[in-house]
Amino acid sequence: MAGTPQKMQRRTDFAAWTADPSTALAELCEWVEMRGSEGHLMAFTRAKGFAYTTTRDWIDAEPSRCMAYAKARERRADVIAEELVAIADAEPGRTVTGAVDPAAVAHQRLRVETRRWAVSKLAPRRYGDKVEIDAKVHGDPIADLVRRIHAGGSCLPMAPPPKPGNP
């Protein structure tokens, strides 16, 4: 086995952790779900001493793991959304004179906006910006287009030609 003693130890620890895949996956999903903004995979791998890519490859190797991890990320979005309210409701820091500290307010705003952006990416259906497109068409758009072109002085026929196979 090639590599430094640290890498060999990480491989051994990872192999021991994944020996029972269902328990390992449950631990990973609980970490991701319950830690909110701190519950990202990079923090998990650092805390466990694993390589990020090795852990990511392990998740990707099994479709059921991918689905469970995706579900945990969606649930994590709910925890982060609750953090948003707590941050927004928190009293901002004050200066020595007792006035509201503008830097503390700016920091709170940054924390809220960053989490709001992250939540919109983790669960876009629930927390993303909703764009509705109304594309109702009234009448015959091709006939209307031909009429407008004809009104502009074109020599096009008034009705579009029949489609092949339709008399």
Please write the tens of the pLDDT for every residue from 43-90.
999 999 998 999 999 999 999 999 999 999 888 989 999 999 999 999
167: in domain: no
Count of the separate structural domains present in the chain: 1
DSSP string, the chain: --S-HHHHHHHHHHHHHTTSHHHHHHHHHHHHHHTGGG--HHHHHHHHT--HHHHHHHHHTSHHHHHHHHHHHHHHHHHHHHHHHHHHHSPPPB-TTSSBPHHHHHHHHHHHHHHHHHHHHHSHHHHSPP--------S-HHHHHHHHHHHTT----SSPPPPTT--
153: in domain: no
pTM, entire model: 0.65
138: in domain: no
The parent domain of residue 59 ranges over 5-127
User: What is the per-residue pLDDT across 119-166, written as a single tens digit (0 to 9) for each?
Assistant: 998 888 888 887 667 677 777 878 787 777 777 776 656 566 667 665
